[in-house]
Structure 1
């Protein structure tokens, strides 16, 4: 019997007043004896004019087709490409069209070839933005009430984001929260795995920003995980006690 391949990922973007944080894992398949990795983050831009970070989740062939077209159209100076769009909404719409085309091009489309993207960036003279582009080509943006977006295996890392992130969160704290969110996902789902990539775009700078990649045995991530575990245990011990004692009879409402 052929072993089933699972293509799962976790990518997240956080948009706060000070900038945007993008984080992605790199696992593309996970079976009993077949684990591989592939970067799911791409960075483009012209310093002082525009900057973009793209993350993906879904079919790897579709992802590669989309990225190939994005890069080819920038290289040849096509009429529409990431270097010509006027604002981030136009960039999201353009990426959506490329995504739909890639899904249908050689496959005929269908759920097996679907792919979703996160697109973050800023263009001179326009507002910065963080968008999720769906497989159908449509998209949504972050809002004041929801300043973060997730694709892939989102459920494990969402609770910490809901509790911590708002527009006023300092960008360094947002990055740490995103890494804790990623760590929670790594612990709960083995199909999400390192290297973990992170890119921080500071608002208004129009520069490539801070990029780093964390390996599985990275000392910083180990220390972050250990610190978070200890803080969680300490917080649990500080909870108000349950109003119950061993041997105490139950109270009836009847």
Structure 2
């Protein structure tokens, strides 16, 4: 399992993902789940992956190979004219990988499914954010749905729904996302640090600013402990429930 978030802001796009994969409590590993392709001054594309590791690695490897092999006429995401066309090519690649697993005789093809968050900007157009399903279809983020989550989403969603604001600064957004990830990590052992972060400034057409929060990162620990203390403090300030004897007894 994993947890990843892609978010639209007035200022640009923000991406965060964990790096934990597991096949049981005795087989836990760390794998990158955030990928970026950039042509400086022309386009920046970021992909977050959740689901079967073999499926996501095969999908990313195919996308990468097609950017480096001009003799291969399979369409490259670095040649797509718009982010919508990039989303189409990524979705088609994911669907093809999953179908190939099915044709190879795998019985439980649902276990090879994966879901992707794709975001970025191509010169001449705005930044865009998409959620890509294993079936090969996708939806785009908008004003009513300004962020997408994939993987283990339920524990980290409430704080995003309550606190998100399109006008947030990048530092405020990072703080919000760390709270969301901390809530998820505390509730589910299949999600864990290191956490990868990418901040993309609108119209910069660069690879963005990247960071990684390790398990012992001082700022992450400060946010985690501060959020726990704040919740306890807020709970103590709420009015107590008045327990009265049942008059029927």
TM-score norm. by structure 1 comes to 0.90
Kept after mapping to 2: 8 A contact 1:41/1:56: yes
SS in 1 for 2:165: coil
The CA deviation at 1:208 is: 1.1
The CA deviation at 1:205 is: 0.9
The CA deviation at 1:227 is: 1.4
Q: Partner residue of 2:66?
A: 73
Q: Which runs of 5+ in 1 are unaligned?
A: 1-7
Q: Partner residue of 1:130?
A: 129
Q: Matched residues in 2 for 1:251 and 1:91: separation?
A: 67
Q: Which runs of 5+ in 2 are unaligned?
A: none
1:12 and 2:29 aligned: no
Superimposed CA distance per residue, residues 95-114 of structure 1 (whole angstroms, 9 cap, x where no aligned partner)? 00000111122442720111
- Residue range with higher mean Cα deviation, 194-203 or 73-82: 73-82
TM-score norm. by structure 2 comes to 0.91
Kept after mapping to 2: 8 A contact 1:30/1:190: no
Q: Matched residues in 2 for 1:71 and 1:251: separation?
A: 71
Task: Write the mapping of 1:148-159 to structure 2, written as runs, cut at 5 A.
Answer: 148-159=147-158
Task: Write the mapping of 1:94-105 to structure 2, written as runs, cut at 5 A.
Answer: 94-105=89-100
Kept after mapping to 2: 8 A contact 1:14/1:174: no
Q: Partner residue of 1:4?
A: none
The CA deviation at 1:79 is: 6.0
Q: How many residues align?
A: 242
Q: Partner residue of 2:202?
A: 203
Q: Matched residues in 1 for 2:247 and 2:150: separation?
A: 46
- Alpha carbons of 1:190 and 1:79: their partners in 2 closer, same or farther (altered >3 Å)? closer
The CA deviation at 1:217 is: 1.6
Q: Partner residue of 1:58?
A: 51
